[in-house]
Structure 1
Amino acid sequence: MALDREDFTWRDLDLCIGQGKTPVLTLVADATYLELYRIRYPNGWTSAPANIIRAKEAAYGHARSLLGGQRPKKRPYSGESLGAA
């Protein structure tokens, strides 16, 4: 089962499948830096802090991985990202 971004719904800071009420992942505010968020996993582990936009983007890929062993799509590297002159 291939899951796309459209298969998920945000309910406040909970990422759910479709219109479900049980969150797959939850974003929580960082205790030290209130403008940053962490992804909280079902086992209680939390990710490194990131701003809300990056945390939500990462949550999609992590949720896909958790729900079916799907790896996030890899993007090809450009010459600029490799530091080419």
Structure 2
Amino acid sequence: MPPELLLIVLFGASYGALFHLYYGRKLRQLLAFLLASMVGFALGQLIGELTGLEVFAMGRLHPVEGSLGSGILLFIARWLKL
């Protein structure tokens, strides 16, 4: 497994779990938040790769862009009441 893929999963899972601790109530929400966070982090990572942004890049990992993507999708998931 490539290191950036492992870090995407770890960052996404931790953001989703922390978001659920603050906003979640049910197990179904935990699963939705974990999935939304991982997908959002991966999309942010992809945008960082495609645009060539180097804001605090750690090797091939773009944590700022990934965190923004994760946060956006988490709040969309909360807004949709998943």
- Whichever structure has more helix as a proportion of its residues is 2
Q: Counting strand residues as a fraction of each chain, which structure ranks higher? A: 1
Give the structure-1-normalised TM-score. Answer: 0.35
